[in-house]
Amino acid sequence: MEERSVALTQNNDCAEFRLDGKAAVITGAGSGIGRAIALKFAHHGSVVRIVDVDENQAEATACEIRKVGGTASVHRCDVIQQAEVVSAFQRIATQGRIDILVNNAGISHIGNVETTSEVDFDRVMRVNVKGYYNCIHAAIGHMKSNGGVILNMASIAGSAGLAERFAYSTSKGAVIAMTYSVARDYVPYKIRCNCISPARVHTPFVDDYLRKNYPGREHEMYANLAKTQPVGRMGEPDEVASLALFLCSDAASFITGVDYPIDGGFINLHG
């Protein structure tokens, strides 16, 4: 009897994180963290709508989902172009409700305030801040009648001082503030809004950065970067996706207006 009770509890726990009957729009899901979130959500029952500027990568993610019996569609658009975003979300809405929005599409930049050009600063802010605004602006009206969840991908760079990350840190700090504002304004409509702040995560961006800047020394430099997290390694996209799944599931229905670090102890244990 005791073993059966434990098994039932485990099954119920698993059911808490299901997204059956829900549709999630995930931006930048063609690779990296966005791809991991799309696959995780689909595995847990969500219909996935991929919004990405790279249609080929987005379609590759959608194909992976379909191969295992999931449902996914691709909607190409550049998140910095509001007209494109509004049009994409209107098309998505004709396919059904929008229950979840994951703002993930973003870019990085290396440099301090002196070495960051106006062009680079504007580009980072357009993608990482205006892009998120455009998607929330396009999605929120579709959520107001039935409620929903908005999850923004921020970064520990938005709340901790990281060297040579001036534009990126500025943009992610704005994302955190945006999250708080949306959470407060739309809680009466049963719309929750949270954000996740990862530390270094092993994505294709990291590998490309090391190949470009440290040819022949990739393994050495990767190890050096990994050591900056107290746990001694970088995070994995699937680990971020698991936190995203929790925050977008009904198990987190009492959570809104929160920034969640997932950083291997970087903020509280570093140094």
- Residue numbers annotated as active site: 168
Answer yes or no: are the C-beta atoms of 130 and 175 closer than 8 Å. no
Bridge partners (DSSP) listed for residue 51: 27, 75
Q: Is the dihedral of CA 26, 27, 33, 35 positive or negative?
A: positive
Q: Which residues contact 72 (CB under 8 A, 6 or more apart)?
A: 38, 42, 47, 48, 49, 50, 61, 62, 65, 66
State the burial class of residue 115 (Cβ atoms within 10 Å of its Cβ: 0-12, 13-18, 19+).
exposed
